[in-house]
Structure 1
């Protein structure tokens, strides 16, 4: 690192954001460069970021993942091995899209829907030429467009009209299937972060990099300095410039604004009579409209239903509150299992990711024409300010292991930016 102001810096490396990327980078640096002092700053009150596990009241072994829940591309997903290393259990029950149990529907309808959905995604994969939005690949009048819209919205967290075909084509989570962590993905990420020195409730407001040899980081808990900074906050935080850079870095805010966070929220419903529903079975709320929930019934045989809402519907339900989400989920379950099912339902937990000021959503998507901006977002500045997070991943964006991989890559760059140990 160049220059020296004469003032002793507080840390060699400060990492902003204690999600999957920040934690992965910190653990990587601890291994690569044990001589460096590291501090993790987290605006929230816990480790894990968008990986967050809570318990079910009155139970000791039911974990509810309010954020990421599936080990996508599990065979090469780094978190799969880490789960074993920290003593957690990887459950290999097939995901719904990997052949898991589904609510039985009319076979002719199922076949017709599968044909239409498969044809749509084949059109996306075979699209060549300029980037367009994903809605542009729908067939006008196709009776299954509602279901296609629902699935596409779950994937990107945003309506098809706002989502890039090119970015979708680049998505590659790695070899499947997708598995789960019984104790929770959030539990896994936070446990992995335990060995890292961290300061919770530390909201970073300004990064002053005007001086050679020192970067000053202003927080609600005071100012500290570092020789290098890694920024792993969400694109919505960067786009809104909740952290200001001095001098400014407009290219980062501009890239982040075109790689916004989509929204996917979860509602966990407690079942007074769990035997009324089949265990570990999936269903779609409605097959005719895009604004619908998808439901995992009794995951791991627990007495809960995991409801998942995305896109504009998720935003609407956040604004209207949990009663609205509860009402919609109850109605969609009743349409399949009868009105009496609603009598035994109660709210166990619900996420509201858009409402969390230091996050602002769930996972990034690219607007049409913006997919290449992931590289711009990830590029270091001046060999001293580094960036990581799921939105920085070209092919594994929106995933915790994509975030992990960008954190590891940033750790390698940071380690190499300091003089080597003699």
Structure 2
């Protein structure tokens, strides 16, 4: 049912804006009730920031290998509580339970160094949690150890890690929001790709692609959603686009909703970027290993060695480093990665690497970043954004998740929450979409 040539209906019960994880979850839940629903997606594909691309790699012994590579989210975080784990298996995709690389010793890092790093990070966590328990919401960097101490030598890596976790350095991250995140430390993956999963789940859903929304007119008895392909009237609307689009008013509300826009501005999208590189003679490295570039600066990347045992290195860049490299263009990411890896592994290593893909979420018109973080003092903006602006307009996505923000499953759960709210607004019994117990 997913065709960019699908005409817009004149009127539906619910318009869902955005065909990422949250939008697909909302539409799937609504479709079970017989409610008429249409999903409007600005891109030419389903998935949003869950996007799997395929690259075919010719192997040195002959033959070729198909590589599904996740450009955005790649981990089923908190997998023991993540509803998408069961869904992945239900649709016939493969859940890989191999422990993540960050759960084991980093390649080339001594036991003593790992212990020192772990102790420094745990101490930072304890200081932040104590401050939040006192009712404080401050920049995370306020709790760094002095840089001239043994613990403080790791401050650069703290910010590098924050770039991966939050898409921004700790100085830009609310401590109250940081503590609110729920991590059960159980992490799985989808062998065929997380983006493949969301695209698969979206196939039964009516989606109009290449259909960016510019304005939501709330002045009449029905809401008028205006797009580049025409307008559609709806009794209710579920908006699932990234916060940066709401904050910049890329989609305008009429009449305006200044509190909604302000809440979105308090939850900007940071940036986490990836480069996938093919590597020759990968057997030199452990399967699903990890290597850090440097420990003394945030201007460094983390490297996932041989994910799924494939002949690939996946490099992660976060925060200011990712924004700066994006400004230089895709090639800058590969050049930076090569430079760091050569420093660790020798000058000949450059010849063994071939770039495969590079993510550019900051430059992507319909994302403008990777995932949300709350600015200091703005932890409450997640609840503010999730609170209905009126009884027929609901906002959902990873940014509105109270504890699983920044994750695909958090977005999925929020989409389902918004669907139930829309059903209530339409007077539809929620139990129509769920099996009853005898």
**Normalised by the shorter chain, which TM-score bucket?**
over 0.9
Cα deviation code 1:85-116 (max 9, x no counterpart): 1100000000123x346314222222222211
TM-score, normalization: structure 1?
0.94
* Alignment counterpart, residue 173 of structure 2, candidates 154, 163, 183: 163
Q: Distance in 2 between matches of 1:420 and 1:28?
A: 12
The residue that corresponds to 1:307 in the other structure is 315
Where does 1:153-302 land on structure 2 (aligned, <5 Å)? 153-173=163-183, 175-212=184-221, 214-302=222-310
Q: Distance in 1 between matches of 2:79 and 2:342?
A: 34
RMSD: 1.6
Aligned residues of 2:330 and 2:360 also touching (Cα < 8 A): no
Where does 1:393-412 land on structure 2 (aligned, <5 Å)? 393-412=401-420
Return the offset for 1:184: 0.5
Aligned residues of 2:163 and 2:271 also touching (Cα < 8 A): no
Is the partner of 1:143 in helix, strand or coil?
helix
Q: Distance in 2 between matches of 1:207 and 1:412?
A: 21
Return the offset for 1:362: 0.5
Is the partner of 1:254 in helix, strand or coil?
helix
The residue that corresponds to 1:5 in the other structure is none
Aligned residues of 1:267 and 1:306 also touching (Cα < 8 A): yes
- Greater shift, 72-81 or 264-273, is seen at 264-273
Return the offset for 1:360: 0.7
Answering whether residue 77 of structure 2 is matched by residue 68 of structure 1, we say no
Return the offset for 1:9: 5.1
Q: Distance in 1 between matches of 2:298 and 2:201?
A: 37
Answering whether residue 344 of structure 2 is matched by residue 336 of structure 1, we say yes
Any runs of at least 4 consecutive aligned residues in structure 1 with deviations exceeding 6 A, and if so which? none
The residue that corresponds to 1:111 in the other structure is 115
Q: Distance in 2 between matches of 1:337 and 1:202?
A: 47
Q: Distance in 2 between matches of 1:94 and 1:198?
A: 35
Answering whether residue 140 of structure 2 is matched by residue 134 of structure 1, we say yes
Q: Distance in 1 between matches of 2:127 and 2:261?
A: 32
| Structure 2 gaps, min length 5 | 1-8, 58-63, 433-438
Q: Distance in 1 between matches of 2:344 and 2:411?
A: 37
How many residues are treated as equivalent by the alignment? 410
Is the partner of 1:300 in helix, strand or coil?
helix
Q: Distance in 1 between matches of 2:427 and 2:245?
A: 32
The residue that corresponds to 2:49 in the other structure is 50
Q: Distance in 2 between matches of 1:129 and 1:211?
A: 43
Q: Distance in 2 between matches of 1:240 and 1:211?
A: 24
- Greater shift, 283-292 or 54-63, is seen at 54-63
Q: Distance in 1 between matches of 2:425 and 2:376?
A: 35
TM-score, normalization: structure 2?
0.91
Return the offset for 1:60: 5.2
Aligned residues of 2:397 and 2:411 also touching (Cα < 8 A): yes
The residue that corresponds to 2:376 in the other structure is 368
The residue that corresponds to 1:388 in the other structure is 396
Q: Distance in 1 between matches of 2:141 and 2:393?
A: 37
Return the offset for 1:271: 1.7
Cα deviation code 1:35-55 (max 9, x no counterpart): x11100000111110101111
| Alignment CA distance shift 1:120-1:334 (3 Å) | same
Aligned residues of 1:207 and 1:245 also touching (Cα < 8 A): yes
Q: Distance in 2 between matches of 1:215 and 1:105?
A: 58
Aligned residues of 2:101 and 2:288 also touching (Cα < 8 A): no
